[in-house]
Structure 1
């Protein structure tokens, strides 16, 4: 057996899991795949529809750092092949413990320091058991959408359902060139994930009708013939939104596939899960999947849940300590869990964490920069709206339609919250960060700040 791209990704995933208890993310996998094919960060970023600085300086840098710690030697883009091959050789000879689960299973994904949230999870599981269901998991970045999705998939996997989890981040730029290209990629990807024989090209060439009809008939003929239900989860659905020439048509296809279950029994086998942050609003109401099915929102942790996270990390916190952390980050699941990681694994004190939370090199640096870079790339017209809310001492009421639309967009992203139809920053962390970046620009400190 020779060492190739597939083996490299499996080894990287195993080493990270053994070191951290976490698997490769979709973006980390994309960086590894691109690096294996000797693509530049610019090419990888363009194909993944991300900013090059984010791919290079955030995803890539963190990936090589984690791999270096996991394998015990310096790993970089230029030498990761040889480093991972050495690990692979040790695995093959038994010098390293294989642990029998190289590739992430749904069970492994759900086994972490996540606390149980039965009110959300039980409702999700109940809804997912309904024939022909469509479930939309909507929440801002890093709220736990993918974690919840994986828990649902693992639950249905135990019921012997067929599972197809597909992230739109895995599609390349060429797949978005036309609706036909993208629907072909979609059908082929689901086919490969399910391990079915590839009949996509043959079906497209032999059948009449448009892409919507061909997609529907392909599912009927090849993917829905088994007796067991098919749970199809589409993660990172937002990625298609920037491709306006195909977004509306593909989202309309998803709505059509779901509605088939109302009149045709074969389509009751399909259960759709759509995972997204924003909402594509350029569709007619009867064509959009975003007003069909059931929406599940992920709320912030309550003080009790933050206390439970502390216990999961071996800490016995007081009510005052819980409140201090929540006064900074609210109950944002990722921000709370990141805090406890640094408190328990990096030796940070709570006071030190609170005092340096907005530092560019601090524990929330990547999270905060992601917002800043997104605003620079996708919402330059919304900067004034953001500046108004950041600098305000009380909630802001916007009056123009454009301002209200921008405020709603920032609400979906998780930057804003509403209070009696007025707007304020969602967390003090965000308010402090953007205030500091604005002040730095005013006095001429720093460069790539968002208040530009």
Structure 2
């Protein structure tokens, strides 16, 4: 019934979140519980709920009852029950809502997070209508365990929703949880966009293939009878609020070269990202990967912020190793710091220790610390992208027990000064070395690796 009232007022059926709010309210759930179920921010759920009650109140006042009825979360159930009885008694169900098919919350007319193809949901001229959501998240991985990234989430939401950033990147060493953070972000803000599309570049689509895929989705969502011309793609992005996530961006780049060099058949992505960055539009592209394109790194721009994801806080890292079955120990923080708070590294090493019956204390008493084969296999993926000069420089840094200055690097590195600077920049962009107070060094966990 609520769905019918909203449709009568706005020309749109209840979306997935509105249905969850109505259904949850009927079941006596709090906003916080509904927000948790839908992976949304509680304040956002409250805002959507307030607008829903306002629409229902207006429709009840104008179309169904002669007296003013202000719908709230607390009286929603009783209001719907009174309305159902009134409609049945006055026999007006044929004119407004079919009593024999009463549906207080409204059933989902489409699978969640997919394009809505119901012709009843076409755009109308009603100025108060809410946009129909077209969410294609078929390539988005399922979110598993998620650990505290509150600060990073809030920063991303601010950049996207408040600052209207057009091109963002989430980068960091493999295993830091970049994709998981992107998934959590999408779950919390997807209802702010008409279109939300997640695509993985692991299959290495060309730019033409990606654009064709996007235009097919936009054509279907915009009720076009023929494909949207590629030249109109930017115009569509200017007229519609879209969030497009491109995960695994690093697969576009060449192996054996310095950071950010495109493979020949993906060079046109360079001009595409440049166009997205510089032209005015309503869309946000979020790029996720081990490294980011050189054209983004070269020019700092307020519309293209980069979030570098680092290790988890100590409490979250302790939670990870506890979940793997390791007993908490007083010196656990040293163990966590050694593996840089990297979620995947910690899980891998902790699982290895549990299998062998090792404790944190035993591991810390031996040097070098554990570097199991499973962790080597994980690091082999980004290592395959390094150039030979980069591997050569890492081998030299691995022999140093602490970070060293550029002057000393020049003494031990058999390469010209200009080449050394380019290599250092590339390794920093790939997060294989750390720069602190003009000193360059490697994480202790990486030093045993044979480069």
- TM-score calculated relative to the size of structure 2: 0.56
Give the match for residue 316 of structure 2.
305
Partners of 1:401 and 1:301 in 2: CA distance: 35
Give the match for residue 338 of structure 1.
348
Give the match for residue 123 of structure 1.
155
- Describe how 1:165-180 pairs up with structure 2 within 5 A: 165-172=198-205, 175=206
> Alignment partner of 2:331: what SS?
helix
> Alignment partner of 1:363: what SS?
helix
Give the match for residue 143 of structure 1.
176
CA distance change for structure 1 residues 430 and 126 in 2, over 3 Å: closer, same or farther?
same
Give the match for residue 329 of structure 2.
318
Give the match for residue 36 of structure 2.
none
**RMSD over aligned Cα atoms:** 3.8
1:189 pairs with 2:213: yes
Give the match for residue 236 of structure 1.
248
Partners of 1:192 and 1:252 in 2: CA distance: 22
Give the match for residue 431 of structure 1.
447
Give the match for residue 220 of structure 1.
235
Give the match for residue 252 of structure 1.
271
Partners of 2:137 and 2:325 in 1: CA distance: 26
> Alignment partner of 1:274: what SS?
strand
Q: Aligned to 1:401, which of 418, 430, 437? A: 418
From the two aligned structures, give the one with the greater helix fraction: 1
CA distance change for structure 1 residues 365 and 135 in 2, over 3 Å: closer, same or farther?
same
Deviation at residue 319 of structure 1 after TM alignment: 2.9
Deviation at residue 279 of structure 1 after TM alignment: 3.9
CA distance change for structure 1 residues 370 and 248 in 2, over 3 Å: closer, same or farther?
closer
CA distance change for structure 1 residues 218 and 433 in 2, over 3 Å: closer, same or farther?
closer
CA distance change for structure 1 residues 289 and 322 in 2, over 3 Å: closer, same or farther?
closer
Partners of 1:294 and 1:133 in 2: CA distance: 9
Give the match for residue 85 of structure 2.
none
Give the match for residue 43 of structure 1.
none
Give the match for residue 386 of structure 1.
394
Deviation at residue 380 of structure 1 after TM alignment: 1.1
Partners of 2:297 and 2:403 in 1: CA distance: 33
Partners of 2:218 and 2:314 in 1: CA distance: 41
CA distance change for structure 1 residues 418 and 200 in 2, over 3 Å: closer, same or farther?
farther
Q: Deviations over 1:73-132 (max 9, x none)?
A: xxxxxxxxxxxxxxxxxxxxxxxxxxx99x98799723x232122111122123222345
Deviation at residue 156 of structure 1 after TM alignment: 2.1
Whether the 8 Å contact between 1:141 and 1:413 is mirrored in structure 2 is no
Give the match for residue 304 of structure 2.
293
Partners of 1:277 and 1:201 in 2: CA distance: 38
> Alignment partner of 2:307: what SS?
strand
1:281 pairs with 2:294: yes
- Describe how 1:365-380 pairs up with structure 2 within 5 A: 365-375=376-386, 379-380=387-388
Give the match for residue 349 of structure 1.
358
Deviation at residue 230 of structure 1 after TM alignment: 1.2
> Alignment partner of 1:364: what SS?
helix
Partners of 1:422 and 1:148 in 2: CA distance: 30
Deviation at residue 157 of structure 1 after TM alignment: 2.4
> Alignment partner of 2:202: what SS?
helix
- Identify unmatched segments of 5+ residues in structure 2: 1-111, 114-135, 255-261, 411-416
Whether the 8 Å contact between 1:107 and 1:154 is mirrored in structure 2 is no
CA distance change for structure 1 residues 409 and 276 in 2, over 3 Å: closer, same or farther?
same
Q: Deviations over 1:222-254 (max 9, x none)?
A: x6655xx21111122233333365656423322
CA distance change for structure 1 residues 330 and 414 in 2, over 3 Å: closer, same or farther?
same
- TM-score calculated relative to the size of structure 1: 0.56
Whether the 8 Å contact between 1:163 and 1:230 is mirrored in structure 2 is yes
Partners of 1:143 and 1:431 in 2: CA distance: 19
- Describe how 1:75-90 pairs up with structure 2 within 5 A: none
CA distance change for structure 1 residues 168 and 331 in 2, over 3 Å: closer, same or farther?
same
Partners of 1:367 and 1:126 in 2: CA distance: 32
Give the match for residue 114 of structure 1.
146
Whether the 8 Å contact between 1:133 and 1:271 is mirrored in structure 2 is yes
- Describe how 1:63-78 pairs up with structure 2 within 5 A: none
Give the match for residue 414 of structure 1.
431
CA distance change for structure 1 residues 284 and 299 in 2, over 3 Å: closer, same or farther?
closer
